[in-house]
Chain A
Amino acid sequence: AQTVTQSQPEMSVQEAETVTLSCTYDTSESNYYLFWYKQPPSRQMILVIRQEAYKQQNATENRFSVNFQKAAKSFSLKISDSQLGDTAMYFCAFNTDSNYQLIWGAGTKLIIKP
């Protein structure tokens, strides 16, 4: 079965600190795509960052970067210089070439404190 596990239900950090959200997944497919989505209280689901499994280089988008460990099936998200606007639910998800359906984790609630 394909699964995603986010082991941190909630995290809280001070503004400007760095925070890492963990995600592990399980699939037997060789080619897949990993995603982090952000859902602020406005409920809009926003794509934060993506990683193609065949790429060894970790993806980076401004203050957001991932640590992709393919052998360990780990895909953590690092947020540098956290801002109040980063407060949101963060969901890890993946799909594959053979199955477009996104498999979702349960989410991590991130609170940035001033």
Chain B
Amino acid sequence: SAVISQKPSRDICQRGTSLTIQCQVDSQVTMMFWYRQQPGQSLTLIATANQGSEATYESGFVIDKFPISRPNLTFSTLTVSNMSPEDSSIYLCSVEDPRTGVREQYFGPGTRLTVT
């Protein structure tokens, strides 16, 4: 299965600033996903990032707040812009590994963001 790394693993940020989270995969994948997990909650999909096209955002998430880049088949970034304390969450990236033949997703270790 694909091995995924994320940077940073955690950060504490001031409100009004922005943070860019990086996601690196050890193999080429078509589909990459960005999730938010608020404390004690399940995962919520923010957007799907496909290489060579604009990211597809889910209801309630907009590009101005969560801009995403996908420059190649192994890398993506998510920026959390103009942060407020409500953005304090774990942010996870995941990929669908085409080699398995099953539509399963593998996850990075997550980024714990605290906004003060």
Count of chain B residues with Cβ under 8 Å from any Cβ of A?
A: 21
Give the interface size class of chain A. 20 to 34
B-chain residues with CB within 8 Å of residue A100 when the two chains form the complex: 31, 48, 96, 103
Q: Is the interface of B mostly helix, strand, loop or mixed?
A: strand
CB-nearest residue of chain A to B56: A101
> Does B34 lie at the interface of the complex (its beta carbon under 8 Å from any beta carbon of A)?
no
A-B Cβ contacts below 8 A, count: 47
Known: A91-B43, A101-B45, A104-B43. A43 touches B106 (CB 8 A): no
Among B1, B42, B94, B96, which residue has its beta carbon within 8 angstroms of that of A106? Answer: B42
A-chain residues with CB within 8 Å of residue B45 when the two chains form the complex: 101-102
> Does A15 lie at the interface of the complex (its beta carbon under 8 Å from any beta carbon of B)?
no
Which of A's residues lie within 8 Å of B, judged by CB? 33, 35, 37, 42-47, 50, 52, 91, 95-97, 100-102, 104-107
